Amino acid sequence: MDKQITKSQDSCLAYLDEQISSADENTLNLKLAVLLRSFLTTEDGKITEEIACQIDAYEVDTKTSSDPLAQYDVRTELGEYISILYQLIFTVAQLIPYNDTRQDRIVQLLKDSKASENESDFAELMAETWNECYRDEHELGVDSPELQERCEVWVNFSAFLSRCVKAGLNEYPGGFKYPGLGIHDALDSHGPSTIVWDSRVIVAAQYLVMNGSRIREELFKENEKKGNCKLIGEELWHRWTKRFMEISDQAQHTPEISSAVNEAYNIMKGLDTLVSDAVEEEKVDLSTDDRAQLDEEERVKEVNNEVH
């Protein structure tokens, strides 16, 4: 899609302008809002360095001070700094369009500035923001501007979250639950094409495009946990692939939906092909007896798939 300035992009900068104009002088909120706005409108790499240096300075002060009260004060200041930074970035992420490269930049900012190393705070605010974005839309009218805006926010923040997963920022307990939930919402439900369902399809597609290999790997691990008696993860992967194919075959979708669905479907089929080719290459190097045993294991797996 084109990268021209959109209403959502204007909203992103408007939000930061509002934060800047309403903040008291010499406050962290003002300083960080100005830094983030500059970061999003320029290519100034020094901003990431400045944030990283400030975080490092807090951490050094904490480690070098022998005064417990002083250590507590510095930890409090660091916590406030990180909290405000997260709140600004997580709000901005809801306002930057999901296919805007500035989403990649703010994720890289989190990674390079070491802000994401404050895992518990990051995980807590991620969960809170996700829950806030994932509100019930049934009380809103089908054609209401509020519903349109809420769906845009959901798509944008989900894309940001997907980028965080891809960048390795969600490697904490429960941090990888979001892709599965987002994909399930779209592909395990059947209904008419609406703005809500369309937004969920884009969310599912983004998760698979950015993290398809990891999602497939995690799903197939479920087979090992179940001892191949019930191929839950593998069945789910193939069911999702089939659903994307079904959606792709439907003619009523917008070009945006069709493009997202086709890209995700091609990613999934491509991953299956890569794995299949790797298995075939392994077979070439096996002895006749080993190859026969592997073929028998695959035959048993296919039978189990048909049964379950």
pLDDT tens digits, residue range 214-240? 999 998 886 665 555 456 788 899 999
Tokens found for residue 8: 């959502």
The 8-class DSSP code of residue 286 comes to: S
3: confidence class by pLDDT, cuts 50, 70, 90: very low
Same domain as 185, residue 103: no
Asked whether residue 307 is assigned to any structural domain, the reply reads: no
Asked whether residue 308 is assigned to any structural domain, the reply reads: no
Asked whether residue 261 is assigned to any structural domain, the reply reads: yes
Please give the Cα distance from 280 to 284 (Å, whole number): 7
For residue 8, the model assigns a pLDDT of 46
Asked whether residue 81 is assigned to any structural domain, the reply reads: yes
Report the percentage of the chain scoring pLDDT > 70: 73
How many angstroms separate the Cα of 241 from the Cα of each of 37, 85, 189, 195, 238?
A: 40, 38, 14, 22, 5
Cα of 133 vs its chain's centroid, Å = 13
Contacts of 151 (CB under 8 A, 6+ apart): 137, 195, 196, 198, 199
Burial zone of 151 (CB within 10 Å; 0-12 exposed, 13-18 middle, 19+ buried): buried
For residue 65, the model assigns a pLDDT of 61
Mean pLDDT of the chain: 81
Give just the sign of the alpha carbon dihedral 250, 253, 256, 257.
negative
Of the listed ranges 34-48, 241-255, 272-286, the one predicted with least confidence: 272-286
Asked whether residue 211 is assigned to any structural domain, the reply reads: yes
Does the structure show a pLDDT above 80 at 32? yes
Same domain as 194, residue 109: no
List the domain range (segments joined by +) for residue 192: 175-301
Between residues 211 and 81, which one has the greater pLDDT? 211
Does the structure show a pLDDT above 70 at 53? yes
Asked whether residue 1 is assigned to any structural domain, the reply reads: no
For residue 115, the model assigns a pLDDT of 73
Asked whether residue 3 is assigned to any structural domain, the reply reads: no
- The answer to whether 218 and 176 have CB atoms below 8 angstroms apart is yes
Tokens found for residue 16: 């930061």
Please give the Cα distance from 202 to 153 (Å, whole number): 12
Please give the Cα distance from 190 to 198 (Å, whole number): 12
Same domain as 181, residue 274: yes
Three-state secondary-structure class, residue 172: coil
Same domain as 183, residue 115: no
Give the position of tokens 């406050």: 27
Same domain as 208, residue 258: yes
Same domain as 150, residue 23: yes
Same domain as 248, residue 262: yes
Same domain as 229, residue 179: yes
Of residues 89, 97, 92, 84, the one with CA closest to residue 13: 92
142: confidence class by pLDDT, cuts 50, 70, 90: low
Contacts of 195 (CB under 8 A, 6+ apart): 142, 147, 148, 151
Of the listed ranges 14-28, 113-127, 192-206, 272-286, the one predicted with least confidence: 272-286
Same domain as 195, residue 159: no
Please give the Cα distance from 182 to 178 (Å, whole number): 6
Please give the Cα distance from 129 to 70 (Å, whole number): 32
> What single letter denotes the amino acid at residue 11?
S
Contacts of 306 (CB under 8 A, 6+ apart): none
Same domain as 106, residue 57: yes
The 8-class DSSP code of residue 247 comes to: H
Same domain as 253, residue 108: no
Q: How many domains would you assign to the chain?
A: 2
Q: How many CB atoms lie within 10 A of CB 282?
A: 12
> What single letter denotes the amino acid at residue 18?
E
Asked whether residue 306 is assigned to any structural domain, the reply reads: no
Same domain as 192, residue 107: no
